[in-house]
Amino acid sequence: MPFRDAIREMSGFHRDEVTTPNPPIASSVPVSSSSSPPRSSGGGRGMMDRMADAGGNLRLRRNEMKLRPEDPYLSYYDVCVTKEDIDCLKGDWLTDNNISFWEEYLEHEELLKHPNNKVMLLRPSMVFLLKNTKDPLTLESALPDVKKASHIFLPINDCRNPSIAEGGTHWSLLVVGVSDRVAFHYDSLSPANCGEAREVCKKLGVLLGFSLQFSDLEDTPQQDNGSDCGVHVCWAMKHLLVKRLLAVEREKEVQMSLRGKRVDATGSRKDMFKICEGLRKKASRSSSPRTSKHDGKDSPPRIGDD
């Protein structure tokens, strides 16, 4: 069953439901001549229209006030970021698109530097589909082949009603070490999403053909407000990917605990915004016919191949 057909069967699905799935496998994890992946173990629109003010908040310039929330801002490979998504970076809950964009960014800017490895970043829509299906085996043709991955990153959302678009109130992160048959859950409001993460873990195990040992890592850095859960997920995703899995040689054991780490949510929001602005600048400078023949908010600058 094609991915688009699968999600269309669930009415009112997440906004990124109509995007194409991420590539079957995104390259990653440390490069070496060995074929064994590192082992995982748990231990407990205008250029620069937004600027940071002295209080650390993002300020909106006058010429961007014309854009509506649903207007496109930037198309990055398979993800079209809207003005609403950009606005969320000011201090609101991150949307599915924010997290999908971040996964696209990590795939193209980090994982492709390690072409011999196999880390998979599943999109929020795929994870939501997996969580809400009764029989995971019916999704084998709709999802990437998880059996070929060394590690799988899954953003978890607590929405249980597929009829509510952009439903749910909390994000967390599940990271699966396929070779070690383990799954680590990082929840910045622990144990808020523990039940949802266990459910996804169980259904992913069905697709893999074996059970996964689930660990809810209680030493995960905790958020200090009610809106930074998505930022924590994006921070943890990059840290675990770049500083852990991609930073060691194959066959080495990787410590996957985040104990003692501190998350600068405000700084992370600014960094994500700067990345979006940088990509938008790059796309706007492009001389490709695709970007030069369109204008305005109806056709945002694009990055990536057709």
Dihedral sign from CA coordinates of 118, 81, 166, 158: positive
Please give the pLDDT value at position 39.
54
Helix (H/G/I), strand (E/B), else coil: 257:
coil
Going along the chain from its start, the domains and CATH numbers come out as 95-263 (3.40.395.10)
> Which pLDDT belongs to residue 135?
97
CA-CA-CA-CA torsion sign (27, 33, 37, 39): negative
pLDDT, mean over the chain: 81
Q: What is the tens place of the pLDDT at every residue in 281-304?
A: 999 887 455 544 444 446 787 877
Helices (H), 27-123: 83-88, 96-109
- Host H or E run for residue 121: strand 119-121
Tokens linked to 97: 């698109």
User: What whole-number distance in Å separates Cα of residue 28 and Cα of residue 37?
Assistant: 10
Is the bond into 191 cis (omega within 30 degrees of 0)? yes
Check pLDDT > 80 for residue 242: yes
Q: What pLDDT is recorded for position 109? A: 95
Whether residue 141 has pLDDT greater than 90 = yes
The whole-number pLDDT of residue 67 equals 82
C-alpha to C-alpha distances, 4 to 16, 31, 34, 67, 139, nearest whole angstrom? 11, 34, 37, 29, 11
- pLDDT of 4 above 80: no
Q: What is the rounded average pLDDT of the residues 48-71?
A: 50
* Distance of alpha carbon 208 from the chain centroid: 21
Give me the active site residues, please: 170, 187, 229
pLDDT of 185-215, one tens digit each? 999 999 999 999 999 999 999 999 999 999 9
Model pLDDT, residue 165? 59
What confidence score (pLDDT) does residue 21 get?
A: 40
63 burial (CB, 10 Å; 0-12 / 13-18 / 19+) is exposed
DSSP β-bridge partners for residue 214: 183
pLDDT exceeds 70 at position 90: yes
pTM score, whole prediction:
0.78
Whether residue 121 has pLDDT greater than 70: yes
| pLDDT value, residue 303 | 77
What number of residues does the chain have? 306
- Over 70: is that where the pLDDT of 28 sits? no
Contacts of 298 (CB under 8 A, 6+ apart): 72
The pLDDT tens digits of the residues spanning 160-176 come to: 887 775 689 999 999 99
Least confidently predicted of 132-141, 223-232, 242-251: 242-251
Residues 77 and 61: beta-carbon distance below 8 Å: no
Burial of 131: CB neighbours in 10 Å, binned 0-12, 13-18, 19+: buried
Instruction: Supply the pLDDT for residue 288.
Output: 53
Give the pLDDT confidence score for residue 36 in this predicted structure. 54
Question: What is the pLDDT at residue 300?
Answer: 83
Query: Three-class SS of residue 302?
Result: strand
